[in-house]
Amino acid sequence: MYLSNRKSKTTFNLLKFNPPSFLLQRLPLLRVSVLKLLLQYRALVPRSLFTCCSCWENSCLRRSAFKTSLLSGLLRSLLLFTLHPHLLHCQLSSSLLFPFWTPPYCRSLKLRMKVKVVSRSTDEFTRERSQDLQRVFRNFDPNLRSQEKAIEYVRAVNAAKLDKIFARPFIGAMDGHIDAVSCMAKNPNYLKGIFSGSMDGDIRLWDMASRRTVCRFPGHQGAIRGLTVSTDGRTLVSCGTDCTVRLWDVPVATLMESDGTDRSPQAVYTGKNSFWNVDHQWEGDLFATAGAQVDIWNHNRSQPVNSFAWGTDTVISIRFNPGEPNLLAASASDRSIILYDLRLQSPARKVIMRTKTNSICWNPMEPMNFTAANEDCNCYSYDARKLDEAKCVHKDHVSAVMDIDYSPTGREFVTGSYDRTVRIFQYNGGHSREIYHTKRMQRVFCVKFSCDASYIISGSDDTNLRLWKAKASEQLGVLLPREKKRHEYHEAIKGRYKHLPEVKRIVRHRHLPKPIYKAGITLREMTEAERRKEERRKAHSAPGSIVKEPLRKRRIIKEVE
């Protein structure tokens, strides 16, 4: 920006001024000393200018300038004074050099002010060449942005709407099984691979990227009930109703492209009863099977290394703790959840609930917590150290929850239910954040979160595996930084205005299949009626005789040590 502050400009202009060429040519010939010259002109030059020039000259001397340059400088100023009175007046009038003396024309004009106006040159504010980026200037002054809060709110509403528009969670189905998919296992060592077992004894390895079968593992005579992969990703363990446990070699990742090859089992161990579930230890080479009792197996032994039994009922699901390798949780058909410690001779603790628990999953980031998928449409999060009360009850399903799996981040989990839907819950949220359903998806028997927390796989009664996005409106593929920033901004403003009715309504709205919608209403009516009845009973009995228990406690019958 051009600065018209004369005070600072005075000296510059004096220095820049070039004397006429004829004077310059003569200068070397003039062998007159500075002082002499000054004396000579003393009468002509006012005293202040005289002192000024001498000062200036001194400073030049200090800078070891040429004498000629001094002379020229002096002459220059004199010349200015004599030849260009108007210029001089402009430059010197505002300066402090002449406190006492002002030329007569200056007095008449009275110009002692300082003025500056906004002035922009186009070159400074536009790009130089067309290949350059456009120049961007920012001014975050709130006064320039009127109604910014209203604009932000409108953006939040639009972001919520856009989210709904882009919510396309279903990626594709993987078909190939000829019976219902009963169990799945993810390969901890290979992101794209997923194993699935079906009710007719077929085990398949799928490539999630191409959604095709990579290979099959034939051999089981009855339904597959449990599948698990060792932590190193080399061994697949399967068990089923044909009373066998089979160990398989997992094909190496590079060979995964080869299609249609059948594998043969590495080992077949036979038990006395049919197996219901199997899980591999996170660190170590043990795996546990559930059935009439809990058996602990080693890869190399055909007989279980250890067996636990508590009561006579069948154990239907089993899971090792991700943090403590010797700890495992199981659920039995006597409605109990049992904790086992492999270092002890007998099971450690047991909690009996009012309904059966179908599946259990530990939170991988908070390994003391686990969530149980219950038959009564709810999931219950427990702290393993404190089983007399659930930490959180996750409600929303309208039928039994069949399977549950935590995201590797530990912040959310996915559940599959007998009501033909898949739901995603926050680890501490009472209600689901998302519901997935399609017309063709039947009862969901197994769900898995992918190892990168961005996909969900569900296996259902209709013999298909389905691949979903974990965030329904997420943009897949590599994002540009600008896109990423935009998404982050949208998330932030949605979070900021999420309590406002309009935003809340749009974010919460889900289209549900009619039966599920109706069932939800019925369920709510039932709970409401129960609550009312309880209230009335309380109102008509002696004060303090009926204590209302929270739902977190109500569904627990007792805890056994």
Partner 1 sequence: MGVEQENGESEKILPPIEQELADELDAKVKKYLRGEGANLEVLKDKKLRGQLSVREELYGISAKAAAKTEKWLMPSEGGYLETEGLEKTWRIKQEAIGREVDISSSRKQYDIVLPDLGPYTLDFTPSGRYVAVAGRKGHLAVVDMKDMKLIREIQVRETTRDIAFLHNELFFAAAQKKYTYIYNRDGVELHCLKEHGAVSRLQFLRNHFLLASINKYGQLHYQDITTGQMVANFRTGFGRTDVMQVNPFNGVIALGHSGGTVSMWKPTTAAPLVKMLCHPGPITAMAFHPNGHLMATSGKERKIKIWDVRKFEVIQTISGHAKTLDFSQKGLLAAASGSFVQILGDFSGSQTYSRYINHSMVKGYQIGKVLFRPYEDVLGIGHSMGWSSILIPGSGEPNFDTWLANPFETPKQRQEKEIRSLLDKLPPETIMLDPSRIGTVRPPKSREKPTKQEVEAKIEGAIDAAKNVEFKKKTKGRNKPSKRVKKRKEVIEKAKRPFFDQQMEDNPTKKKQKISQVNELPTSLQRFARKKATA
Residues found near partner 1 in the complex (CB under 8 A): 1-2, 4, 6, 90, 109-122, 125-126, 134-147, 149-155, 158, 496-497, 499-500
Number of alpha carbons in the 13 Å side-chain half-sphere of residue 410 = 11
Rank residues 143 and 346 by Cβ distance to partner 1 and give the closer one: 143
Rank residues 21 and 134 by Cβ distance to partner 1 and give the closer one: 134
What angle in degrees, to the nearest 10, is found between the helix axes of 6-16 and 85-92? 140
What does DSSP say about strands 315-320 and 327-332: parallel, antiparallel, or unpaired?
Answer: antiparallel
Q: How far is the CB of 547 from partner 1 (least distance, A)?
A: 25
Residues 6+ positions from 298 with CB-CB distance below 8 Å: 285, 286, 305
Buried b (16+ CB within 10 A) or exposed e, 104-128: eebeeeeeeeeeeeeeeeeeeeeee
Q: How far is the CB of 49 from partner 1 (least distance, A)?
A: 21
DSSP notation for 204-227: EEEETTTTEEEEE----SS-EEEE
d(Cα 198, Cα 364) in Å, to the nearest integer? 27
Q: How far is the CB of 75 from partner 1 (least distance, A)?
A: 28
Q: How far is CA 330 from the centre of its chain?
A: 32
Number of alpha carbons in the 13 Å side-chain half-sphere of residue 543 = 0
Rank residues 130 and 345 by Cβ distance to partner 1 and give the closer one: 130
Q: How far is the CB of 138 from partner 1 (least distance, A)?
A: 5
Q: How far is the CB of 141 from partner 1 (least distance, A)?
A: 7
Rank residues 22 and 137 by Cβ distance to partner 1 and give the closer one: 137
Rank residues 99 and 477 by Cβ distance to partner 1 and give the closer one: 99
DSSP notation for 278-329: EEE-SSSSEEEEESSSEEEEETT-SS-SEEE--SSSPEEEEEE-SSSTTEEE
Q: How far is the CB of 378 from partner 1 (least distance, A)?
A: 23
End-to-end CA distance of the chain: 82
Rank residues 37 and 154 by Cβ distance to partner 1 and give the closer one: 154
Rank residues 136 and 542 by Cβ distance to partner 1 and give the closer one: 136
In angstroms, the Cα distances linking 135 to 128, 132, 172, 481, 486 are: 10, 9, 45, 19, 20
Rank residues 422 and 503 by Cβ distance to partner 1 and give the closer one: 503
Rank residues 24 and 151 by Cβ distance to partner 1 and give the closer one: 151
Burial of 513 (0-12, 13-18, 19+ CB in 10 A): middle
Q: How far is the CB of 130 from partner 1 (least distance, A)?
A: 10
d(Cα 145, Cα 158) in Å, to the nearest integer? 19
CB distance 516 to 437 below 8 Å: yes
Q: How far is the CB of 485 from partner 1 (least distance, A)?
A: 14
Strand partners, 380: 372, 393
Rank residues 117 and 478 by Cβ distance to partner 1 and give the closer one: 117
For the chain, what's the residue count? Answer: 561
Q: How far is the CB of 412 from partner 1 (least distance, A)?
A: 19
Q: How far is the CB of 502 from partner 1 (least distance, A)?
A: 10
Q: How far is the CB of 489 from partner 1 (least distance, A)?
A: 13
Rank residues 146 and 545 by Cβ distance to partner 1 and give the closer one: 146
CB distance 421 to 172 below 8 Å: no
